[in-house]
Structure 1
Amino acid sequence: MTRPKLWITRKLSDATLERAKRDYDTIINLDDSLSSDDEIVAMSAKVDAIIPCHSERFSADIVERLDPHLKIIANHSVGVDHCDLPALKARGIAVTNTPDVLSDATAEIAMLLMLGAARHAVEGDHLVRSGRWDFWSPSFMVGKQVTGARLGIVGMGRVGQAFARKARGFDMEIHYYNRSRLPADQEIGATYHSSVDSLLPVSDFLSLHGPATPETTGLMNAERFAQLPEGAVFVNTARGALVDEAALLEALSSGRLAAAGLDCFATEPGGNPTFAAHRNIFMLPHIGSATRRTRDAMGFRALDNLDAFFRGDQPRDLL
């Protein structure tokens, strides 16, 4: 029996690649370079399936050019804002993602960013690393305490809930906004807000965990940053599209925000070069799910979806 032909667009975990090679006729981008739109279109005529990451775009114009030979896109990501789902559905191409398995890893990065931003991690590291630490006093590098503070979470899905559980360990008072209220057993004792505008004024710390959609693009703009308490700390491990970066920089420069912790940006890779001069911005290069355990789990979840599809079953994570 002929094995389905699979293109893996980036260098995934060793365990994932070994399993893929065992079960599929694989083409693997071991150079780990970003594929162009034309390459994606060309490969669609050669393979039955693609495992892409969020770095590969399947916009409406690209989907229109895809070859009918391609049957399924099994994303190695939870977010699918890089995929035009209606266009893919219209072409009869199945799409899956990898939920559940990266929630804790991403929540850990959100916690790192929140703590680092609140306690001057960038400035402190720079002082010690540069050999310029030659002073101390009780007023030196005084930050914002996390323990007991009020935390606002925008998007109480899997990652938002995982972050809330971890924040409970710091005795934080949790508030959240979600499109709908969670059942009581999933709220983790958090207070529900029916609107983002209701949530912001009580959020000493604000963390974004929602998807990028046309409705959430630019969610945090100048008006909304102004609603946060003075000296609040802002964290984003969701998607850069949710934030007006010029408004964020203005809120930081004016003192409305004390600090920000960012793992995602409007432009990726690269980020926003204007942020580099600001030591109250703690930045990471979109590595929320980057642990060995999680990368293996994401790869295996994508392959599980492919296995089900080619057996004739409905994939667990069909969108």
Structure 2
Amino acid sequence: MKKPIVYITRKIPNEILVPYQDSLDFRMWEDEETPVPRDVLLEEVKEADGLLCLLTEKIDRELLENAPQVKVVANMAVGYDNIDVGAALEKNVIVTNTPDVLTETTADLAFSLLTAAARRIAEANDYIRAGKWDHWSPYLLAGSDIHGKKVGIVGMGRIGESIAKRAKGFGMPILYHNRSRKPSAEKDLGATYKEFDELLREADFVVSVIPLTPETRRMFNKDAFRKMKTSAIFINVSRGGVVDEKALYHALNENTIHAAGLDVFEEEPIDANHPLVKLDNVVCLPHIGSASVETRTKMLKLCMDNLLAVFSGESPITPVKNP
């Protein structure tokens, strides 16, 4: 019996593929760093039965119309704003994602970014590397305390709750805003629900963990930043599109807010000359929220297990439903 063909849009370690080779036939873009060109992807999907893709690939109606045999798209991410899920479901194409396995790792990164922005860690590292450390003074590179400060988490899903657990260890009062209240977070973590504007006004750290949807696009805009404390630090580990980057730049440059830590941007990769990169009070990361060896391996294996389940006639492990 012919094995289903799975096209993989980025080079991944062979040891991930070996356990599945008896059941699936793999074809792969043989570059670890550069995304597969659109024209190559459109050609490859013509014969594919399944697709393992990254956020860098736009799985839209055009591509799906070009892929008559594709039965399943396994997205190596929790978010799936790169996929037209509605068009996929119209064509009876199953879409899967990778929730849960990256929750704790992304929360680690979010809190690390919060710490780095508050204590000016990246700036201090650059200070030494530039040969500027020739004295000591009481307020040299003095940052902001973290312990005891209020953290406001916007989006109290799995990752939001895991960030809250870390904040609790630092003795931080936890505020949160979510589409619906989370009684478990209020009971177990002592989190306090706030309307969005209230959270902005009260929090010392505002952490975005919301998915990108039409409702959340540019949710953090000029008005939102104006409502924050001038000492507030903004952290984004969700999607770049939830932020109006021009408004954020002006808020940081004009001291409307104090600092920011960003793992995601509207256009990725971000250009080295992007205005936000030039600001000393911003820590920028290249979308590495889940980037630990252990977690990325788990994500790939979950993609493979989803593909195998579908081709074996079983239900996928982590299907995406039409939002």
**Kept in 2: contact 1:151–1:205 (CA 8 A):** yes
Alignment of 1:148-227 (within 5 A): 148-184=148-184, 188-193=189-194, 195-227=195-227
Q: CA deviation at 1:21?
A: 3.4
Q: CA deviation at 1:162?
A: 1.1
Q: Which residue of 2 aligns with 1:21?
A: 21
The C-alpha deviation readout for 1:186-217, integer Å capped at 9, x for no partner, is 75211012x32221111100111111111111
Alignment of 1:251-270 (within 5 A): 251-270=251-270
The C-alpha deviation readout for 1:61-83, integer Å capped at 9, x for no partner, is 333x3221111101111110000
**Kept in 1: contact 2:161–2:185 (CA 8 A):** no
C-alpha distance in 1, partners of 2:217/2:80? 14
The C-alpha deviation readout for 1:201-250, integer Å capped at 9, x for no partner, is 11100111111111111010000011111110010111100100111111
SS in 2 for 1:176: strand
Q: Which residue of 2 aligns with 1:70?
A: 70
Normalising by structure 1, we get a TM-score of 0.95
C-alpha distance in 2, partners of 1:218/1:150? 23
Q: Does 1:119 align with 2:119?
A: yes
Q: CA deviation at 1:127?
A: 1.1
Residues 1:46 and 1:61: Cα distance change in structure 2 (over 3 Å): closer
**Kept in 2: contact 1:15–1:296 (CA 8 A):** no
Q: CA deviation at 1:13?
A: 4.3
C-alpha distance in 2, partners of 1:79/1:14? 25
Higher mean C-alpha displacement, 249-258 vs 22-31: 22-31
Alignment of 1:97-108 (within 5 A): 97-108=97-108
Q: Which residue of 2 aligns with 1:296?
A: 297
Q: CA deviation at 1:22?
A: 4.5
SS in 2 for 1:26: strand
SS in 1 for 2:21: helix
Residues 1:224 and 1:253: Cα distance change in structure 2 (over 3 Å): same
Q: Which residue of 2 aligns with 1:59?
A: 60
Q: Which residue of 1 aligns with 2:248?
A: 248
Q: CA deviation at 1:122?
A: 2.5
SS in 2 for 1:179: coil
Q: Which residue of 1 aligns with 2:6?
A: 6
SS in 1 for 2:308: helix
- State the one-letter code of the partner of 2:239: R
**Kept in 1: contact 2:104–2:159 (CA 8 A):** yes
**Kept in 1: contact 2:185–2:191 (CA 8 A):** no
Q: Which residue of 2 aligns with 1:131?
A: 131
Q: Which residue of 2 aligns with 1:313?
A: 314
Q: Structure 2, unaligned stretches of length 5 or more?
A: none
C-alpha distance in 2, partners of 1:18/1:240? 35
Q: Which residue of 2 aligns with 1:85?
A: 85
The share of aligned pairs that are identical, in percent, is: 38
SS in 2 for 1:257: coil
C-alpha distance in 2, partners of 1:314/1:262? 36
C-alpha distance in 1, partners of 2:307/2:4? 10
Q: Which residue of 2 aligns with 1:41?
A: 42
Q: Which residue of 2 aligns with 1:283?
A: 284
**Kept in 1: contact 2:24–2:308 (CA 8 A):** no
**Kept in 1: contact 2:260–2:281 (CA 8 A):** yes
SS in 1 for 2:142: coil
Q: Structure 1, unaligned stretches of length 5 or more?
A: none
The C-alpha deviation readout for 1:65-106, integer Å capped at 9, x for no partner, is 322111110111111000011111111111000100001111
SS in 1 for 2:98: coil
Residues 1:275 and 1:16: Cα distance change in structure 2 (over 3 Å): same
C-alpha distance in 2, partners of 1:128/1:43? 48
C-alpha distance in 1, partners of 2:14/2:110? 26
Q: Does 1:95 align with 2:90?
A: no
**How many matched pairs?**
317
Q: CA deviation at 1:318?
A: 1.3
Structure 1: 4+ residue segments shifted above 4 A: none
Residues 1:16 and 1:183: Cα distance change in structure 2 (over 3 Å): farther
SS in 1 for 2:6: strand
